Amino acid sequence: MFNIKWLSTITTVLLITTFVSISAKEKKLYIYNWSDYIAPNTLTNFQKETGIKVVYDVFDSNEVLDGKLMAGNTGFDLVVPSDSFLERQLIAKVFQPLDKNKLPNYKNLDPQLLKLVANYDTDNQFSIPYMWMTTGIGYNIDKVKKVLGNNAPVDSWDLVLKPENLAKLQSCGVSFLDAPSEVFATILHYLGKDANSSLASDYTGTATELLLKLRPNIRYFHSSQYINDLANGDICVTIGWSGDVIQAANRAKEAKNSINLAYSIPKEGALVTFDLFAIPTKAKNLQETYQFLNYLMRPDVIANVSNHIYYANASQAAIPLMSEVVRNNPEIYPSANIRAKMFILKLHPPKLDRVITRAWTKIKSGK
Ligand code: N2P
């Protein structure tokens, strides 16, 4: 008999089928990117266009990302290591090769830049450059002047690496990036040594000695907190990344709090870093991943990202679409003579990495 019981069974079956087909349709993509490193509308616009929901998580340290990748399944479809870290991760075979046939927008990338990053990833087989930057100095123009006078060496690493200067700046707040290999390379370069020295004693000796002298005057080591702290006036000087410092300057401007910030690429030269998208071997949502990569390489999309985060992207075709303040900003796109003085970070042998990690722990604890 066609009774109530039957009706409710049919309804349940119908409900389950509908639910299964809806959830089968919900496409997802898991991304792990640096903090403050995408435009506020990029992910929502992507979802609107494609129906793909991005589950997005952030980090602020290559070491953290590296730890996850080395531990095995990250659960992410896309991650963004920096150049020399990616090189090491490629040796550990944690990424899968790209199928460029699925990336028609790849043609928009700058061939010269692709050649540069091929030093880390031969023939660009596994990665797509996203943004690039320098590691320099962010500072509060008025406070630094107040503490060190009109001739404060804001164009030199002396500002933060000469212990007597840092001892004075300590009163208005100093932070350093918590990025051991970058800070060590910068210090070695400043000390006239090879930024990529493979001698353990260069790290544990002179570089550590200098960092221990500076240590009492460094309020903290952190790689993202400094953006807000600079913008609020809680710190007055930092070793930081170009785009982050320029974001801080803009946050202060928007807040109209009379805090004037500037970024400096010191005249002695600075580290240049390329961050690249790569797909972990165990990524599950490949079709969605390719759709996202292709979307990001669309000139209008990536131009919008740079306009918000103040980092230089890897797309030639995007340049005319970027705002003047980004495109013509020598702190974002440094001039040829500044570029000539920039240096890169090379892959360290694993033994040296352990030396660096130990030295860094010692420096941070101040002992
Ligand atoms: C963004 C950090 C820039 C990436 N907040 C550093 N490689």
DSSP for 272-322, written as a single string: EEEEEEE-BTT-S-HHHHHHHHHHHTSHHHHHHHHHHH--EESBTTTGGGS
Q: Measured on CA atoms in the order 159, 274, 189, 212, is the torsion positive or negative?
A: positive
Indicate if ligand 1 lies below 6 Å from the C-beta of 37. yes
3 state DSSP class of 98: coil
Q: Please tell me if the CB atom of residue 275 comes closer than 6 angstroms to any atom of ligand 1.
A: yes
Looking at the DSSP bridge assignments, the partners of residue 132 are 274, 312
pLDDT at 22: 47
Sign of CA dihedral 145, 327, 111, 87: positive
Q: 182 with 270: CB under 8 angstroms?
A: no
Atom index in ligand 1 nearest the CA of residue 311 equals 3
Ligand 1 touching residue 34 (CB < 6 A): yes
pLDDT recorded at residue 26: 86
Centroid of ligand 1 to alpha carbon of 298 (angstroms): 21
- Does ligand 1 come within 6 angstroms of the Cβ of 331? no
- Listed in sequence order, the residues at least 6 apart from 303 whose beta carbon sits closer than 8 Å to its beta carbon are 313, 315, 318, 319, 321, 322
197-254 per-position pLDDT tens digit: 999 999 999 999 999 999 999 999 999 999 999 999 999 999 999 999 999 999 999 9
Helices (H) and strands (E) in the chain, counts: 18, 10
Q: Indicate if ligand 1 lies below 6 Å from the C-beta of 36.
A: yes
Distances (CA, A) of 77 to 32, 99, 193: 8, 15, 39
The reply to whether CATH 3.40.190.10 applies to domain 4-132+274-333 is yes
Q: Is the CB of 273 under 6 A from ligand 1?
A: yes
Res 367: pLDDT: 77
Residues of the chain with pLDDT under 50: 1-2, 20-23
Domain boundaries, the chain: 4-132+274-333, 134-272+344-365
Domains 4-132+274-333 and 134-272+344-365 share a fold: yes
Tens digits of residue pLDDT in 100-109: 999 999 999 9
| Domain 134-272+344-365 is found in CATH 3.40.190.10 | yes
CA distance 253 to 231: 8
pTM for this prediction: 0.93
- The token pair at 181 is 């290999």
Contacts of 236 (CB under 8 A, 6+ apart): 139, 140, 143, 144, 147, 169, 172, 173, 174, 230
- Tell me which amino acid residue 167 is: A
SS3 of residue 353 by DSSP: helix
Smallest CA separation from ligand 1 atom 2, residue = 34
Ligand 1 near 95 CB (within 6 A): no
